[in-house]
Each structure stands twice: as structure tokens, then as C-alpha cells.
Amino acid sequence: MPEGDTVWRTAHHLHEALAGQVLTRTDFRVPAFATYDLRGLSVDEVVSRGKHLLIRAGDSSIHTHLKMEGAWHIYILDERWRRPTFEARVVLENAEHQAVGFSLGVMEVLDYDGEDDAVGHLGPDLLGPDWDAVKALCRLNRDPARPIFLALHDQRNLAGFGNEYVNELCFLSGILPTRPVGEIPDLARVLDRGRRMILANRDRVQRTMTGDTRPGRMHWVFSRRGRPCRRCGTAIRSGQLGAKPTQMRITSWCPRCQS
């Protein structure tokens, strides 16, 4: 699933292509919204909210979520699409560009005033103007027995982290994914480190957690099961954590460097 920095960059590029321009065509390829027509409206802005995207035009807001396979592409008019037509869920056009959302996990058109129903549950956005570390810490600490891995994943606590960031942040903080939130003495420092990590990657096309962008060298533990720890040489382990079988997520850690 795309991380918050990917969604932030997507919103940034969509804003450049759409904001201030009048929509000349809107094609919503989701049955519930197939009859909607926003032609003639000017796009005010495109913003990210954690892993959610909001395209605001007039009194309407196009809310999308990439989930696992989704992506937005921006094309010059009449340029050939780089993904199959049947994967398109929404097409937006203006006089210069065409924005196409492919395989989106969520695609809905809301009244502007209804945005809160879609994203109001989210915690402070790590890459947003509303970032509030104190509020995020308060939300994390509401359940001190919860494993830190799951607490950092929970978008209701703070919005933007996915599996990649949480695994890497736990390693860099020397914390086992299963360690309860209440047993972490300096949670504020962990949170600050995580925000600095996602800010450092915000403008990069190729995300890196180690500072090295060479293939195979961008992660400490993520997707490195059985391979030697870059610090101590111990084999990286992996497992699963989740409150329900449908919510299980893969964890990766070094049994020597993390406790």
C-alpha cells in the first residue's frame, strides 16, 4: 500500500495540473457516481489527508484512496494511457491535461461539507499543515498495552505511515514491533524521528530509509527476512501482527538490535 509521502506527491502533481483550471470533461467509472457531471467547475485545489486524496471543485470534493494497486496518472490530452482502459475509475480533463485514476480503492464524489465523514476520523497528518505532535502522542497513549507497530499504523492516531515506515522506524528506534506503547520511555522522540523520515522522502521519487538509493540498499529490515542486519549481521526475522485475521500486517525486525 502506498505510504503517505507517495500520496502527498500525487496530490502535489495533480494540483499543478488541475488547480485553477475549468473541468471540460468528467467521467466517473464507478456505478454509484456514473451520472455525476462536474464539467464547468474550476478546480480549487488538490490536497492529501494522510493516504486520502481530495480534489475540490466548487461545492464538490472528489475523494479517492489508492489502497494497494491504485495510482493517478497525468497526461497531455490525447496521450496514450500507460495502464489498461478497464482499470480507469475516473477521468478528469481540462484544456491542457487529463488526469486518470486507475484501480482506486475508493472513488466517490462528496459535497464539500461532507469531507469530514470521509476523513474526519484521521489523526494529525504527518505531512499536513495540521500536524500536531502533542495530539498524536495523546492518541497513541490512549491504549498503552497496544503494540507500537499497530499503534503507529492506526490512521486514527496519526495519518501517513504504512508498513514500510513503521517497520523501519521501529528498527531505527531499537524497539521490537510487539513492544507495548506504555513501555516506550521516549515516544515523542520516536514520533519526531518518524516525521523527519517521511519529510526527507516527501520529494523523492525513490524512497530510502538508509540514505542509500542504490537497489537493495534502501531498507534496514523491511522486506529483508533472513538477510543479515546491516548493523550486527543477525538474520532479520518477520512475523505478523493484527487485531483480526483480515488486518494482519507483516513485521520485520532484528532480534539483536531491537528490544
Instruction: Please confirm, yes or no, whether 2 is among the known catalytic residues.
Output: yes
Instruction: Please confirm, yes or no, whether 168 is among the known catalytic residues.
Output: no
- Which conformational region is residue 225 in: left (phi greater than 0), alpha (psi within -120 to 50 degrees), or beta? beta
Instruction: Please confirm, yes or no, whether 51 is among the known catalytic residues.
Output: yes
Task: Spell out the residues 6+ positions from residue 244 whose beta carbon is closer than 8 angstroms to its own.
Answer: none
Q: Of the residues 16, 51, 168, 177, which is catalytic?
A: 51
CA of 2: how far to CAs of 76, 104, 178, 180, 207, in Å? 25, 12, 23, 26, 11
Residue 65 main-chain phi, psi, to 5 deg: -140, 130
CA of 34: how far to CAs of 91, 246, 259, in Å? 11, 30, 52
Asked if 249 and 242 count as a contact pair (C-beta separation under 8 A), the reply is yes
Strand partners, 172: none
Q: Of the residues 2, 124, 147, 177, which is catalytic?
A: 2
Gap between the Cα atoms of 2 and 4, Å rounded:
7
Which residues participate in catalysis according to the annotation?
2-3, 51
